[in-house]
Amino acid sequence: MDEFISTVKNQEIPLHPLDTQAAFLNVPYHFFFANDSGKADFMPNDALRSAFYTALGRFPILAGYLRSEGQGKTTVVIDRQKLNMPEYLESTSSISFDALRVAKFHHSSWPEGLSTTSAITTAGKDGSIKLLNVHVVRMKDNSGVIIFVNMPHYVVDGTGFFSFVEMWGKYCKAQRQNDYELVQQADETTLCFDRSLISHSLPTERKPLGTQTLNVYTGFSPIADWLAWLSPTTRGRILSKAKFSADVVSHTFRVSQDKLGKLHEEVSAAMPNKQLHTQDTHVLAAVISKMVAQAHMKCRKQENISVGMVSKITRVFSSLSGMLFGVENTQSLNLLADVRHGLGITDKCYMGNGLIPHNTQCPLSILEASTNIETLADATAITSGIYGNADGALVASFIDMISARPSCFTRPMVYLSKHPTSLVITNETNFKLYKADFGDGLPEWVCTIPSFVANFIGFLPSPATSTDIVVNITLKAPVMKHILSDQFWKELATIVY
């Protein structure tokens, strides 16, 4: 650690408005490594710790602290005399790695206290928001190791997160094996933390933003304005007490690539616009948006379901909205996309948050219709259209809008809380979940925390031996009950846990 501190240079990194778009959320993942060969020196703690600080030297932003500038603007301050050092914990467990395997890595089998953070970005014991949390747990009889890593969306998205974990693994493996070429490879990896890259990469062209996007980000929302006015620590404290994950259930499924590919072919043949480019994940997003809408339809007569963010206040607003404007007839579908592609900077190794939501209002008449190839083609036309429209001109227009209104980042959260059928889908299948090798092989399983936030869907890659897609679905318990009994979904996906 002392060697790391000696390399730190004082600097301030003003965060881009993109960084704050999901600033209230964490990026938490668990990496499960098996010691099947029974090696005595399997992923030794000393080597892990030493390599951790070496990797941290390449990511000094993770040792900075957040300074609120007001009106939604935030700066990361890296001060050698006042470092906000990451939380790095080590512990042992009486649970064997085989017990985790038998349970298919279900969270009920995990060691107690494995996850040291929740979904919401909050201050740690010292009163500051840590920009990196790590918990290394050694399983019974050295049968395996679990590494929990968390970073807030303030400083990274999945690209930056998994780049750090992969680099940490490279340094550890290199140091253990005296592999100087691997050290050089890691040292020469270019990393960009300069947020001005986004502004400098914007094209001159602009494309009009959708009505739905403008309504969410520019509409009247006193609650959102109040939340944006608060400091990051105060906002986190309030949101953590707002029961973000109250009555929320998560399940993980595996979608066969063969079945999804065949379904994609059938849907493509039935698409109304044959020129529209579609991908497997577009079809999968359509399947899930229809399935969730149908589950809400079945629940609607049973009880009024809200997603629990600022729950007591927003229920009042939802009730008033229902009385004034009637029952919702659309689903707010938010597909998260990476601006690196639209701006042509995928080769720049940009480590800041590059995710933006592309949202639209999907008619419930389409989504609630019984799922078959024809109705699924209609829904896929919507999801493919959203992704297809997300070019550099649209990204530039979105960034113009949030840059002119830096405090607007809390508005989507409040909007989602008032619209219980809203859905957020993120495609992480291209992220490097299974690339971290600390010298004893790749992780056997990688997953996020048990319950994230309601109405959040994540597409993840399978372990290296499979091309299937892992789907994590987090919904309110009454809605999830209908998901588990959905016949179309049961034929496409198998439940992992």
User: Which residues are part of the catalytic machinery?
Assistant: 153, 437
Running DSSP on this structure, what letter comes out for residue 127?
S
Distances (CA, A) of 202 to 198, 304, 376, 385, 406: 7, 43, 35, 22, 18
- Sheet bearing 73-78, strands edge to edge: 11-14, 73-78, 65-70
Owner of token pair 């959320």 = 25
Could you tell me whether strands 355-363 and 330-338 are parallel, antiparallel, or unpaired per DSSP bridges? antiparallel
263's enclosing H/E stretch is helix 257-270
Residues with Cβ within 8 Å of 20's Cβ and at least 6 positions away in sequence, in order, are: 72, 74, 154, 406, 409
Could you tell me whether strands 133-138 and 87-92 are parallel, antiparallel, or unpaired per DSSP bridges? parallel
Rounded Cα distance, 159 and 430, in Å? 9
- Sheet bearing 445-447, strands edge to edge: 87-92, 133-138, 144-152, 26-34, 445-447
Rounded Cα distance, 130 and 116, in Å? 11
User: What's the gap between Cα 470 and its chain centre?
Assistant: 14
Rounded Cα distance, 86 and 61, in Å? 11
| Residue closest to 83 by CA, chosen among 27, 20, 128, 135 | 128
Distances (CA, A) of 141 to 34, 251, 342: 12, 30, 49
Could you tell me whether strands 423-427 and 456-461 are parallel, antiparallel, or unpaired per DSSP bridges? parallel
Locate 133 and state its tokens. 């949390």
Could you tell me whether strands 133-138 and 456-461 are parallel, antiparallel, or unpaired per DSSP bridges? unpaired
Please say whether the beta carbons of 436 and 443 come within 8 A: yes
Please say whether the beta carbons of 367 and 289 come within 8 A: yes
